[in-house]
Every structure is written in structure tokens, then in C-alpha cells.
Chain A
Amino acid sequence: MSKKKSLNGNMYLKTFLFGLPSIILIMLFVLGPIIMTFYYSFTNMALTGAAAADTQFVGFDNFVRMFQDPSFKTSVLNTIIFLIASAVIGQQIVGFLVAYLMKQKARPFRRVIGILVLAGWITPEIVVAFVWFAYLSDQGTLNIMLGFLGIKPVAWLLNFPLISVIFVNIWHGAAFSMLMYQAALDDIPQEVEEASRIDGANAWQRLWRITLPIIKGSAVTNMVLVTLQTLGVFTLIYALTGGGPGEKTTTLPIFMYDQAFVNYQLGYGTAISLVLLLIGITLSLIYIRFLKTE
């Protein structure tokens, strides 16, 4: 009995010691900052001015200010549109469509299409921004192609900034969903499809009644995961539009950056971080909830 207990104790000690380097790093650089987010959100910390020398506890001031700030409302709205259009709808549809159509196609063909879609995914975010800056510019490739159809050039980033940014993010992210859906579709037993085919179901019925219900679980998990990734998107928008013109593409990460590092209002910037973090925490809880049930 006592021997078993000491063995167990040994196991816990070993687990702790093995985990120690990771625990220290995560405590210091991840959990520490998360706790600081909660604390500094209630201070008037600033990089310059009187508040820089003397940071004070200001209660809910930052949050009162935030909810009265029209720029905050705009960036929340932009974030919601960006998340829904690019992560929840765009990447899911494109990713699923490619994965579904690729099923049972010739291997070389699958490979070529796969690489073309993956090219957008492996391109680093900052390069994605340059590529699309050129693609969407006045004399860019898109306007040249539309010119063949007799459509006049459009200043995409000026006139349709949010839609442009949404499309860029779909282009950059869709491959991830494609891979997830490919894995999910590969898991469906061939016999299930065969049986419904023999029963006389057409392609459309097979998709809606058989395939989609089976992969529902992975679809929801993937959707939450992609939404989480999209919530943190900064580089793409910052390099492509800088959040503009005006505030038309200012999402919460851009707004947070502007307040903290351009206006030097670290306290206010942290309060915006907190909002971002709380959305992230909620989504992440939903994510592990779905993983658990799967």
C-alpha cells in the first residue's frame, strides 16, 4: 500500500518536473500577460504624458469610455462582419466545396488543385498583403481581367475595403478548411455512399441527407477554430489598408494597436485587449466543448 503510494507520488513529481520548463514559459509569457490584461484594463497607464509617470487605478473608466467611443462600436461591427463573412461563411464554403468536388478525382488532378489552393495558405501574411495590394490596385490584375469583360477599373481598396479584406482572408485561409474537410470526408465509409446511391438518392440528396449530417461535428469544430484564428488577424489588414480608409477596415486588433501604440494609451488599449480576450476565451471554451463531445 505504502509502496504504491510512494510510486504514485513519484509519478506526480516526475510529471511536474518534466512539465516545469513549459509551465515556467507559459506562466511567464502567456498566463502572466492574461492576468495583467485584467489588471491594467482598470488603470490609466500611458506611454507619454502625466499618466506615464504615475499610473493610477481608474475603475471602470476605460470601459465607460469604450462604450461611448463611436470608433469602438465601428470596430466591433467590422470585426463581426469580418468574422462571419470570411471565417464562418467564406472559408467554410470554399474549403468544403474544393474538398467535396475533389473526392474520387484522379490523383494528379487533386494534387495540382490542392497545391494551387495551398499556395495562398503557405504564403506569409505580410506577403499576402503585398500580393493583394498589387492584385487589387487600379492597374492591377483584377481590373485588367475585368477590363476584358468590359468592366471599368474599380479602386477596390478605396471603394470596397472591407469586402476586399474579407476576400483576401478567404484566399489566405481556405486551404486549412479544405484539409479539415478532406480528412472528415475521407472518414465516411464508402458503403454508406454506395447504399444511398443504390436506394436511388441523387447527388444533391446524398450531400444534404448523408454527407453533411455525418461531418456536422467536424464542420462545427473547424468553424470555431477558424473563427478563433480570424479573430487574431492583424498583419493582413494592417499592411493592406492600415484599418482604413477612415475606419472602414478597423477591426478590434487594429483598434487595440492604434490606441495602445499610436495614441500611447496603454490602459485603454489593454481594455480593448480584454474585450478581444473575452471573445477568444468564450470561443475557445465552445471549441473544447465540441472537441469533448466528438
Chain B
Amino acid sequence: MITKKFIQKALPYLVLSIIGIMFFIPLLWVIFASFDTHATLSIKLPEEFTLDNWKKILTDFEILRSFGIGVFLSLVSSIVLVFCSALAAYPLSRYHIKHKNSVILTILFMSGLPMTAIMVPVYQLFVFFNINDSLIATMLFMAASGLPYGIWLMKNFIDSVPITLEESAWIDGASVLTGLRKVVAPLMKPGIFTVLIFTFTNSWGNFFVPFILIQTREKLPASVTIFQFFGQHGMVFYGQLAAFSFVYTIPVIILYFVGQKYMSAGFSMGGASKG
């Protein structure tokens, strides 16, 4: 009897541990190979632990530039997105206007559409307006494609800020915009950071969009240069490829852990207002 009960208790732990380990094992190669100058596709502990691969990647001007471009594309597009979505979401949250639900449903509908499907016409649009190969236009496209989901998230966050606070600000003579900037924005910091981190990570990891819209080698962000590195040197310098992948992933890992704090705060806030 005791053994049966013990097995029933232990089984979930065992199954979860196996799943967890299986999920992690594929990543071991990147970690080991990045510290091994003689790395191959096969997994092995580095004979000699070395930071050479990391040094090579972090001192290569072209690679550093591509990281800089990646930061520009991701950071500016997420700031544009946060700004536009906060403005658009505000009246959707606060005003009782006709057809509001239809507008919100349309926004949700658009957020579901796979942006992959429109990349061919987007390319044609860029060629037509002669903005092909432009980093600023690419950045704007990235912001625009994330806007529907951003507005939806933002609206939920604004919903969770009590309107009474703004009303007292209005009575004191503040305009709607001042109320939004001085009262709502500070209270919804978690929401703003969530949207910011979410869009930054999405753009940082986006390969397809810059791959199609940017042609000049010197303008490519890290997501594309890492792919080219794989094509050109990857077959020989697996260690460097692993280090490159590692460095490229670090910002996402940091942002995830930073974001978790805000996100849990944000979601519990959203949940409270819904319930």
C-alpha cells in the first residue's frame, strides 16, 4: 500500500524531471561549444576551457555593428509602438463610444494574422516607395506589425488603473493628455515595460523581416548576420557560431527575467480588474 502511494506521489516528479532534462539537453551543445576552440557538431566537454570564441565575436567590428543595428531596430520600434499604442488604447479604455467593441475585436483579429503572409507585398510596397533597404522604414514596419497586439495589451493595462485618479486631476484643471502622462503612465509602468520588453524581444529575434527588407551587408542586424556567419564560417568555426548564438541570446534572457517581475505584477493587476 505504502509503495503504491509512494509511486503515485513520485511519478509526476519523475515525469517532469525527465521532460525538463529533455528540454535542456539540446542547449548543452551551445554552452560547451562556445568555450571550446576545437568544437564540432558533436557534444563534448572542452578539453581546455577558453574564452577565445567569445573574444573573437566580441571584438569583430562587423558583428558588433550588427548588434548595434539590432538594438536600434528593436529599441526604437518598441518605443514607437509603446507611444502609439498607449495613445490609441487610452480612449478605447476610457470613453463609452459606439462600436467600441467592434474596434477592439478588429484589433484582436489583426493581432492574430500571421505577418509572414504579407511579407511579399510589404517588399513590393517598400520597392514602390523606394524605402527598400531603409533601416528606419524597417523599424516602422516592425512597430506597425506589433501594434494591434500592443494596443490590446495596453488597453487591458489602462483598464486596471482606476479612473477616479484622473478625474481628480481633471478637476484640478489637467487636460486629458496631461492626465495620461502624469497620472496613468506612472501607474501603469508594469504595463508599459511589459509591452516594451515583449516587442523588443520579438524584434530582436526577428530574422525574416530584415532578411527581406534590408539588402546592404553593412545594414544587417544580428539576427541576419548570425545566419550568414553560419553559411560562411559555421561549418568550420562551430565554437564561434556557438559563442555568437550565446551572446545574441543573452539580452533576451536578461529581459525575460527583468520582465517577469513586471509581467506578474501587470497580469495580477489585469486579473483584479477583470474579476
Contacts and interface: CB of A to CB of B under 8 A. Distances in A.
Interface of A: 11-12, 14-15, 18-19, 21-23, 25-26, 28-30, 32-34, 36-37, 40, 45, 94, 97-98, 101-102, 105, 109, 112-113, 116-120, 122-127, 130-135, 137-141, 144-145, 171, 203, 225, 228-229, 231-235, 239, 253, 256-257, 260-261, 266, 269-270, 273, 276-277, 280-281, 283-285, 287-288, 291-292
**Secondary structure call for the A interface:** helix
B13 A105 contact: yes
B124 A45 contact: yes
Contacts of B33: 134
B253 A122 contact: yes
B27 A234 contact: no
A131 B26 contact: yes
Interface string B195-211: 00000010011011000
A21 B120 contact: no
Given A228-B112, A261-B212, A22 B147 contact: yes
A281 B36 CA distance: 47
B116 A232 contact: yes
Contacts of B19: 94, 97-98, 113, 117
Given A11-B95, A22-B87, A36-B124, A130 B112 contact: no
Given A30-B118, A124-B223, A127-B245, 15 more contacts: A15-B91, A22-B87, A23-B88, A25-B144, A28-B144, A33-B121, A37-B118, A112-B20, A120-B26, A126-B207, A130-B241, A130-B245, A137-B41, A144-B42, A260-B120
A285 B109 contact: yes
**Secondary structure call for the B interface:** helix
Interface of B: 8, 12-13, 15-17, 19-21, 23-30, 33, 40-43, 80, 83-85, 87-88, 90-92, 95, 97, 105, 108-110, 112-125, 140-141, 143-145, 147-148, 151, 176, 201, 204-205, 207-208, 212, 223, 226-227, 230, 234, 238, 241-242, 245, 248-249, 252-253, 256
Contact of A232 (B13, B117, B227): B117
A116 B23 contact: yes
A276 B114 contact: yes
Given A116-B20, A277-B113, A22 B151 contact: yes
29 contacts: A11-B91, A11-B95, A14-B91, A14-B95, A14-B176, A15-B97, A21-B84, A25-B140, A29-B145, A33-B122, A33-B125, A37-B117, A109-B16, A113-B20, A116-B24, A131-B29, A137-B42, A231-B117, A232-B114, A232-B117, A235-B207, A257-B119, A260-B123, A266-B124, A270-B121, A273-B119, A273-B121, A277-B118, A291-B108
